[in-house]
Structure 1
Amino acid sequence: MKKNKILVIIGAGGHGLVVADCALSIGHYSDLIFLDDCLEKLDDKSPWQVSGPIASWPNYSENADFIVAIGNNTMRASLLQQLSAKHCCIATLIHPTAFVSQHSTIGQGVVVFANAVVNIGARIDEGCIINTAATIDHDCHIQACCHISPGVNIAGGVNVGKGSWLGIGSCVVEYITIAENTQSGAGAVLTKSTQSNQLYVGVPALAVRSLI
């Protein structure tokens, strides 16, 4: 959803800069505002400055769209919940080079980055990150606030539970269920359904430790 010409980006790290680049590529927003608690300023080469802490977001609620550019799934979910509770306009950003089927469903607060693919029948719930060149095949369901890292390939009919993070270059075979808060290491190949709150690594991927 794009209503205003100002976009407030919550999170000014590297991920936030890529979100900003994606937003500019769409051509809708005339002004970008960064909010962050940890960074007083962006890289010296950046054309933007950090305008204030995250808690200052209500100052912009009447005339700006919002996107949460924080990679941590739990933090992103919490901030989106706060924004939604105050009926803020939460943006959805899809890079012009991404392919998103007109027969897919994309929730609010989702960012689909450059060269990503979301195929027919796929459902991407609110707050998800579909990162650079990731592919989501037909009839997949990516539940709320997942991070699908660059180069991840998910075959058809996969259900990814909320808050999961699939590491860079991971692959998921068709028609399995990735439980809530699953993480996979770089290059992992998930061939079987997973259990919640576990880190999976290897080929084929095996659970190596609990995340709680």
Structure 2
Amino acid sequence: MSKLLIIGAGGHGRVIADCAEASRQYCEIAFLDDSYPEREQNLAWPIIEKSSTWKSFKDEYSFALAIGNNQARLALYRALDEANVHLPNIIHPAAIISSHSELGKGNVVFANAVINPGSKIGNACIINTSASVDHDCQLADAVHISPGAHLAGSVKVGQCSWFGVSSSSVQAICIADNTQIGAGAAVTKDTEANGLYVGVPARRIKDI
């Protein structure tokens, strides 16, 4: 069993800690967060230093990234990966992941999420509570599939894109880089990069 440091002690970090605890793979779980030393506890888990001190711990701990912003999470992931930090996938035991799917590094997969056969998940992705990624989907790095969001089969999702809570997509479409899909939206055709899409069917309402 190894020790896990989670960078970011917000609500998302608490879910990662709970997920890691449920996996029973870690003898110690702690946080780095910029609120230290004003905050020294995040529910049941200690905050032991500021986020910027991660290099001091890289030989002793595995790391998870509890950063909701996709671009910021990807930048930190790349810095840690370049420093040869161990970035395991944190997977809740109640998630269902096909043995015929592929996951990169530094991903989190929460309770009741499903990843079906033939799917390829990049690095630093979030597959959130009760989300599903159906067969043969391809997710680039730093994608976030929010709670209750569902991708039909053979969907390609570009880097740093985000499906909001309870959003969905039809099969075999391409979601461009840095696309945000609003809560409850249903995507029925390819998107263009750097845009916010909302509604049923989803339509682009602004650049981001």
TM score, norm. by length of structure 1? 0.95
**Matched residues in 1 for 2:182 and 2:53: separation?**
35
Residue in structure 2 matched with residue 150 of structure 1 by the alignment:
147
**Matched residues in 2 for 1:208 and 1:199: separation?**
6
Contact 1:12 1:42 in 2 (8 A): no
Change in Cα spacing, 1:60 to 1:189, as seen in structure 2 (3 Å) is same
Contact 1:180 1:197 in 2 (8 A): yes
The residue identity in structure 1 corresponding to 2:50 is P
Counterparts of 1:47-62 in structure 2, within 5 Å, are: 47-62=44-59
Indicate whether 1:90 and 2:68 are aligned.
Answer: no
Once the two structures are TM-superposed, the CA of residue 49 in structure 1 deviates from its matched residue by: 2.5
Aligned residues: percent identity?
46
Match for 1:193 among 190, 194, 199? Answer: 190
Change in Cα spacing, 1:137 to 1:210, as seen in structure 2 (3 Å) is same
Indicate whether 1:65 and 2:62 are aligned.
Answer: yes
Residue in structure 2 matched with residue 99 of structure 1 by the alignment:
96
**Matched residues in 1 for 2:131 and 2:168: separation?**
10
Q: Which runs of 5+ in 2 are unaligned?
A: none
Q: Which runs of 5+ in 1 are unaligned?
A: none
SS of alignment partner, residue 37 of structure 1: coil
Match for 2:76 among 75, 79, 88? Answer: 79
SS of alignment partner, residue 187 of structure 1: coil
Larger mean Cα displacement after TM superposition, 83-92 or 126-135? 83-92
**Matched residues in 2 for 1:197 and 1:114: separation?**
30
Once the two structures are TM-superposed, the CA of residue 38 in structure 1 deviates from its matched residue by: 3.9
The residue identity in structure 1 corresponding to 2:146 is S
TM score, norm. by length of structure 2? 0.97
Counterparts of 1:113-124 in structure 2, within 5 Å, are: 113-124=110-121
Once the two structures are TM-superposed, the CA of residue 201 in structure 1 deviates from its matched residue by: 0.3
Q: How many residues align?
A: 207
RMSD over aligned CA atoms reads 1.2
Deviation track 1:32-54 (CA, whole Å, cap 9, x = no partner) reads 1201114632677x122221111
Once the two structures are TM-superposed, the CA of residue 209 in structure 1 deviates from its matched residue by: 0.4
**Matched residues in 2 for 1:14 and 1:107: separation?**
24
